[in-house]
Amino acid sequence: MNVRAREVPAYWAAFKNLSEPLSDIEIRHSGRDASEVITYRSERADGPTILLISPPESPFLLVSPLYVVLSDKFSVLAWDPVRATFMDCGPDDPVPSVRDHADQLRSVLESLDDRPTHLVTWCSGALTGLQYIADRPQSIASATFIAPPSLLSSDPERTAFQSGFIEKVLRMALFGAEERSRIYRQLRDGQDLLPETTVAEATLKRLTGMLWQSEARATRYARSILLACTPTGTATKKGAETGYRETLRELARNVPVSVIHSSDDQLVSLSNARAIARENPEVQLRILNHGGHFAVHTCADELAELVLEGISSRKQLPNTLAGNPTRHKGRW
């Protein structure tokens, strides 16, 4: 089923370089208005299904290069979250929590058959996946976390992006109107924004510009980031960290779990991935020597091979990959 213009979200118009390769993809709409879920499907007659999850405030198009490569071998399912700020919702629309996103995920999965489902997440999409798994154990055949967030380990190291941009965004959600306006003007004027060294970073910078069109829109974005750190059922960020880590630990005891991270990631430190593997000995750590935080975009072919390794692996005895991970230098 070829894509037709009337089916795609409005934001696609700003990212034509990413949407052009998606010439043959099935788009389904369910629900209405603010509750509408837009899913993207590439179906194969046999084999497992990969569920590809991007961060709640990052559009599907940012992970679409990986989606295209994976769809050569698997049925792949992805979606744009309901009420994400980039989906043209109003500043006063309710901000969804991680549990809301997990419930959206459940509604998406209800339409699948009984084929094994493999979870593949990028960045803070891991939090949506883990919340879903916490609510519905035994529903996933394997899990692969690409560049997961620092909430999943006790590693204290933070990149300049985390201690600068993200901390300021969280302050926007927590502080009063005067401080919020000051931070908004600072970020809008380009301070602490992403470097623009790759096509992927340029794309994200364009997205950030869309989110920063007004203070109300930026504040809504900030509140959604805060809700990712403190989902329903936890009163503090500390409580959220504990819950996510316990879910990851239990998941790794039961199904193959992989973490993939690029050594040159400037947004989330590689030391976080090493700490996840060290604290969860069953987790397989795979390292790319390039690709940065946006490997889903910049080296999708190589990343897909690593995802395939994780999906194909069987449960093994605990390993020591925190000190000696599988390392990939490039194409093979």
| DSSP character at residue 95 | P
Nearest by Cα to 91 from 215, 232, 189: 215
How many Å apart are CA 318 and CA 140, to the nearest integer? Answer: 20
Under 8 Å between Cβ of 220 and 85: yes
- Read off the tokens for 196: 């623009």
Segment (H or E) for 306:
helix 300-312
Higher pLDDT among residues 39 and 19, named by residue: 39
Flag whether pLDDT at 172 surpasses 60: yes
How many Å apart are CA 129 and CA 142, to the nearest integer? Answer: 11
Strands, sheet with 142-146, edge to edge from the N-terminal-most edge strand: 26-30, 37-42, 75-80, 49-53, 117-122, 142-146, 257-262, 284-288, 326-328
Confidence of residue 115 (pLDDT cuts 50, 70, 90): low
* Complete domains list, the chain, with CATH: 5-156+235-328 (3.40.50.1820)
Nearest by Cα to 60 from 89, 109, 25, 107: 25
Segment (H or E) for 168:
helix 167-174
pLDDT tens per residue, range 231-246: 544 445 555 677 889 9
Under 8 Å between Cβ of 146 and 295: yes
pLDDT tens per residue, range 76-95: 988 887 777 676 666 667 77
Q: What's the whole-model pTM score?
A: 0.83
Flag whether pLDDT at 320 surpasses 80: no
- Read off the tokens for 240: 């959220």
- Read off the tokens for 82: 């309901």
How many Å apart are CA 166 and CA 188, to the nearest integer? Answer: 14
pLDDT tens per residue, range 117-135: 899 999 989 998 998 888 7
The neighbour count for residue 329, using CB atoms within 10 Å, is 11
